[in-house]
Amino acid sequence: MDTRTLLVLPLLAGLAAPAGAAPLRSQQGPYELQVLCEGVPLRTYDHAGETYVLGHHGDRYTLRVWNHSGRRVEVVATVDGRDVIDGRPGDYVRKRGYVVPAYGYVDIEGWRLSAGQVAAFRFSSVDRSYAARTGSAREVGVIGVAVFPERLPSRPLYLPRPWSSRSETAPARDGSASDVRAQAPSPKNAAPSPPPASEPGRDAKTEGALSRLERFRPGLGTAFGEAMDSAAYQVEFHRQHPSRPEAILGVRYNDREGLLAMGVPLDGPGEPDEAWMRRTADPFPFVSRRYATPPPGWEYR
């Protein structure tokens, strides 16, 4: 399976409203989000209809997005509310994404530095997180992925349309398609984002308190880690619905103390604690058998 990272500059249309407050889950339909550490998916916990991941300070992690459908999809991913490609606030309508092949997956290993490198995702304290160091720690602790299936060609297709200066894409010399729209501005020449407007009913004192709260929040964030080789290249991709994702995947993460404070049930059969040991104590644990025990799935014939 070819799992090389593909970048895409989506061809955009009208804008849409934000995703809203829908519960964040790691799976929806044929799409799945995993958080891997050392190549192994971190354990997930279901709580109040959402998916939670237990992280550990200093660990490097990777996002793996699975596409179990028969069509290519584009995925726009954010960590702590920051787009993983340009590091700015997440926006799945205007932002570029990664292409995931049909019945395949793509690994997103960090914040993209160039077409050849990324800065690793590493669990850190909130104040050392990339989001906190570049603006606001308000969205720390959440990972999101918006999924856009590819637009299928209309049928029947009679004759190829000649390319003109008004076409969206032009054929490259090697026969592949290359995007001719202007690329997203680099951080050096990008216009600064306007400051967020204060919510109704908040005065300067309240805003200052919230700012201090963000700066000294406990738990985990995601740092801008060491540079790593991670090749990517641009391809042409037409979204089926330019401004409306088919699915939004997501997980919330924190350290053990933070997840327990949020009421996430970490202790159970997989991770026993004293209370669980006492609740499940068996007064007659020894089971005697005179003959061999059949293996699982064995049937007498």
Q: What is the DSSP string of 104-122?
A: EEEEE-EEE-SSSEEEEEE
pLDDT of 282: 73
Q: How far does CA 38 lie from the centroid of its chain? A: 17
Per-residue model confidence (pLDDT) at position 125: 93
Distance between CA atoms of residues 249 and 245, nearest Å: 10
pLDDT at 267: 75
Name the H helices within 159-236.
204-215
User: Per-domain residue ranges for the chain?
Assistant: 5-190+202-279
Cα 84 from chain centroid? 9
Give the separation between CA 247 and CA 100, rounded to whole angstroms. 14
**Token output for 237:** 């991709």
Q: What is the rounded distance in angstroms from the CA atom of residue 3 to the CA atom of residue 67?
A: 12
Query: Where do the H-state alpha helices sit in 145-272?
Result: 204-215, 256-261
Q: Using alpha carbons only, give the angle 60, 73, 115 rounded to the nearest 5 degrees.
A: 50
User: φ, ψ for residue 108 (rounded to 5)?
Assistant: -110, 110
Distances (CA, A) of 198 to 51, 204, 211, 279: 30, 9, 12, 49
- The pTM of this model reads 0.68
Helix (H, G, I), strand (E, B) or coil at 249: strand
CB within 8 Å of 16: residues ≥ 6 apart: 93, 243, 244
Distance of CA 195 to the CA centre of its chain: 25
Give the strand pairing for 247-254 and 50-54: parallel
**DSSP β-bridge partners for residue 85:** none
- Are 8 and 19 in contact by the 8 Å Cβ rule? The answer is no
Asked if 97 and 76 count as a contact pair (C-beta separation under 8 A), the reply is yes
Give the burial string for 270-279 (b: 16+ CB within 10 Å, else e).
eeeeeeeeee
| Nearest in space to 100 (alpha carbons), one of 234, 236, 6 | 6
- In this structure, are residues 85 and 299 in contact, taking their beta carbons and an 8 Å threshold? no
| pLDDT tens digit at each of 301 positions of the chain | 444 456 654 433 333 334 446 899 999 999 999 999 999 999 999 999 999 999 999 999 999 999 999 999 999 999 999 999 999 999 999 988 999 999 999 999 999 999 999 999 999 999 999 999 988 888 999 999 999 999 987 665 444 443 333 333 333 323 322 222 223 333 333 333 334 444 344 455 555 554 555 556 778 999 999 999 999 999 999 999 999 999 999 999 999 999 998 899 887 555 555 665 666 677 766 656 566 656 676 666 6
pLDDT of residue 91: 92
Position 169 scores a pLDDT of 31
Under 8 Å CB-to-CB from 143, ≥6 apart: which residues?
A: 33, 35, 53, 63, 77, 78, 79, 80, 250, 251, 252, 253
Q: Say what the pLDDT of residue 18 is.
A: 41
